Amino acid sequence: MINKSRIFFAVTASSALCASAATAQDASKIPVKKVGAVEARTTEPVGGVTSMRVLSDGSVFLNDFQQRRVVLFDGALKQQRIVADTLGNGLPYGQRQPGMLPFTGDSTIIVDPATLALVVLNRRGDVVRVMSAPRPQDINTLASANFGTTAFDSQGRLIYRAQGGPGGGGMGGMAFGGGGGGGRGGNQGGGGPGAVGAPGGAQGGRGGQQGGGRGGDFGGGGGGGDFGGGPGGNQGGNQGGRGGRGGTNVQPDSVPILRANFDTRKTDTVTFVRVPKNEFATTPTPEGGTRVITKINPLPQADDWALLSDGTVAVVRVLDYHVDWYTPDGKHTASEKLPFDWKQLSDADKVKIVDSLKAAAEIYTRQAQGMTQGNNNFRLAFEPIAAEVVVA
């Protein structure tokens, strides 16, 4: 059982760290910005806030996933309006967590993965229109807060980071960035078509679709996708084949920053950014289920990016701390390296860091397995990566 605590949401006056085109020769060091004092506090507890949107007048949209609602607070955090919930007081808050994107001006977009819709709200929380995503396959990426900032330029084009991982589709794809393709069905022959096997995680394969005819060999199982695929067709002659064996899914170390045009419905690639490589190993369990081991990297390395007011995309490169600039007309320039006091870790330091993660990995594993309900044969476990793999 995981203890759930309720928190009070506070707005603080803080200074944002803005990107500058000035070179490192113009500054001796990076200034440190201090967080200001608390300006306002809610009068009632707020649950798990997954995203928020601050408007020009200080009003705040909150996506409270724990209480399954979207709330609009005034600048003083005293008055609130329910924009979406499960009680019919506004938009329906579905089973799949919606996302929240800042749109042009004080407009805000609610991303609804269930309907593939982008719902545009005005500053009062009223629905003004509904748009479709330029790339429907990216709707889960837009709804998730795990893939960084999403922004619109002055021309209304959507700039966002694509989801990492090969392949795609399925619940496993949403959780782990996609997987391998499906296994083939059983050979045709008498006896009618074979039943579709259960899908593997990220489209890990469907069982024999056409196992009929002359008695068919085996309704082929999944072809070694993220979760090893499901069982093959049961009616394809003799019997359905077993699901594919488990394997290792290593995500790519870079993903594209995309720019989507709602008018032309076309998407182009601005650049690629470095992302942490997450490794997932899948193995079958004696009960016929699947065990997924997630490798924890204590020092993940990733680029970060921001959109400037003129539509330029600025990317801070993590390996040497320089900034790349990509203008709307496709030009690319780069600044000098930012001043940074690089600290080299020895091999002994890496071993200490990895060893310290083992206890945390055991806690995460117990919590994940404790949340498993019913006859669910899906088991999630966590392990730290090997010390020699740590890059620092």
338 falls in which pLDDT band (50, 70, 90)? Answer: confident
pLDDT score recorded for residue 271? 96
Tokens standing for residue 300:
């993940």
Nearest Cα to 243, choosing from 198, 276, 192? 198
Q: Is the pLDDT of residue 227 over 50?
A: no
Residue pair 202/179 in contact (Cβ under 8 Å)? The answer is yes
Exposed / middle / buried, residue 57 (Cβ in 10 Å: 0-12, 13-18, 19+): exposed
Distance, CA of 43 to CA of 40 (rounded, Å): 10
249 falls in which pLDDT band (50, 70, 90)? Answer: low
How far does Cα 148 stand from its chain's mean position?
Answer: 8
* 203-217 average pLDDT score: 37
* DSSP string covering 252-305: -SEEEEEEEETTTTEEEEEEEEE----EEEEEE-TTS-EEEEEEE-SS----EE
34-57 residue pLDDT tens = 888 888 888 888 888 888 999 999
pLDDT score recorded for residue 158? 95
Q: What are the structural domain ranges in the chain?
A: 168-243, 273-392
pLDDT score recorded for residue 389? 60
- The more confident residue out of 8 and 79 is 79
62-102 residue pLDDT tens = 999 888 999 999 999 988 899 999 888 888 887 888 999 99
Mean pLDDT (the chain) is 73
* 218-232 average pLDDT score: 37
pLDDT score recorded for residue 237? 41
Residue pair 162/187 in contact (Cβ under 8 Å)? The answer is no
pLDDT score recorded for residue 212? 37
387 falls in which pLDDT band (50, 70, 90)? Answer: low
pTM of the full predicted structure? 0.64
Distance, CA of 381 to CA of 283 (rounded, Å): 11
At residue 209, what is the residue type? Q
- The more confident residue out of 200 and 260 is 260
285-326 residue pLDDT tens = 887 788 888 888 888 889 999 999 999 999 999 988 899 999
125-136 residue pLDDT tens = 999 999 998 899
Q: Is the pLDDT of residue 108 over 60?
A: yes
pLDDT score recorded for residue 192? 40
Nearest Cα to 127, choosing from 153, 94, 158, 103? 103
